[in-house]
Structure formats: C-alpha cells, structure tokens
C-alpha cells in the first residue's frame, strides 16, 4: 500500500515537472549568419547592405534640419525580433545626432519597446538591445554618452493596443524623451 502511494507520488511529481518545463521554455530565436546579413559596428547593428551608405552619411552642419525638438519625436522602428537598425532608422538617427550636437545642453532617455509577442522577460531584453543599439549609433556620431540613458519597457507601453502585423510593427520601436 505504501509502495503504491510512493509510485503515484513519483508519477505525479514527474508529470508536474514535465508540464512546468514545457510551459516555461525559453523562446528560441533563429539567428542569421552575421557575415551574410548583419554586422555589428560600435555596439549597434546595421545591415551589411547599409554599411557603405552609413559610412557616406556623416554629420554635416550644413544638413537641412530645423532647430526644433520635433526631430526627436520620430520613433525608430525595428523589424520583428531584431535590434538591427534599418536604413530608415540610420537616416533618422543621423538627423537626431545633428540636432543633439547643436543642442548640447539636452539629455535624452531612449526607450526600447516591443510588440506583444514573446515573454515579458524576452521582450524586456529585446527592448534593452534596441535602446542600446540606438544609443551606440548616436555615441558613434559623437554624442556624449553621459547625455544618453536607456530604459526598456518591453511590451508594457504599446503605441497601439490592437493586434495584427501593422499594430505590432508600430510597437517595435525606440522612442526619445528629453530629460
């Protein structure tokens, strides 16, 4: 009788462990071969096709940028499950860098955001990588890192609370706050 009880408890314990291990599995992410698709420069990632374009784009004081914080209101958008800067993101960040250079008394917080897919922990880490990628890009443009702080909100502060690809794309972003 006691042996039967031990067997039942052992089966119950093993079943419970199996259920917990399946429900708590970490999200796996397919990683592309960086030599083919992405390269890391100075702590931020850009696609290799855009590296030559980024090298040609430097902060030029003659660039046509208004002296307004409207420049910092543009979000930096990311592809699904990536912290890689797109060509559009690099272009926007170059404008932001010029504005920050001419407004050297301004400090900013860079918020990293994700869409609702993935676990909270995973999205917090991805949001952090996105914010850090933006910070490193700006630092490489000559912006003092002491003026740049980062925070990740993961999926907790969506721009749009709906569902679907268009909504998710709008929530995968880095956002700037002037402090």
pTM score, whole prediction: 0.64
Residue 144 lies in a domain: yes
Mean pLDDT of 135-141: 96
Residue 157 lies in a domain: yes
CATH of the domain at 172: 3.30.1330.60
Cα distances (angstroms) measured from residue 157 to each of 93, 129, 134, 168, 175: 22, 16, 18, 12, 11
Give residue-wise pLDDT tens across range 10-32.
665 555 444 444 444 444 333 33
Element housing 46 (H / E):
strand 44-47
DSSP 8-state code for residue 147: G
Element housing 8 (H / E):
helix 2-23
Mean pLDDT of 105-117: 94
- Total structural domains within the chain: 1
What are phi and psi for residue 150, nearest 5 degrees? Answer: -125, 155
Contacts of 5 by beta carbon, 8 Å cutoff, 6+ apart: none
Give residue-wise pLDDT tens across range 22-75.
444 444 333 333 333 344 455 555 543 443 344 344 344 334 344 445 557 889
Residue-range definition of the domain harbouring residue 53? 42-178
């Amino acid at each position: 009788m006691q042996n039967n009880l031990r067997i039942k408890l052992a089966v119950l314990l093993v079943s419970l462990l199996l259920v917990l291990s399946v429900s708590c599995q970490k999200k796996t992410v397919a990683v592309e071969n960086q030599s083919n698709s992405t390269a890391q420069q100075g702590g931020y990632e850009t696609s290799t096709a855009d590296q030559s374009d980024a090298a040609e784009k430097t902060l030029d004081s003659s660039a046509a940028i208004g002296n307004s914080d409207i420049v910092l209101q543009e979000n930096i958008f990311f592809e699904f499950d990536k912290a890689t800067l797109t060509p559009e993101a690099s272009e926007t960040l170059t404008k932001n860098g010029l504005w920050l250079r001419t407004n050297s008394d301004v400090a900013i917080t860079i918020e990293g955001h994700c869409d609702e897919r993935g676990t909270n922990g995973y999205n917090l880490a991805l949001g952090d990588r996105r914010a850090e990628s933006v910070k490193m890009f700006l630092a490489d443009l000559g912006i003092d890192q002491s003026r740049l702080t980062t925070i990740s909100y993961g999926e907790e502060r969506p721009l749009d609370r709906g569902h679907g690809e268009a909504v998710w794309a709008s929530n995968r972003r880095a956002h700037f706050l002037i402090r």
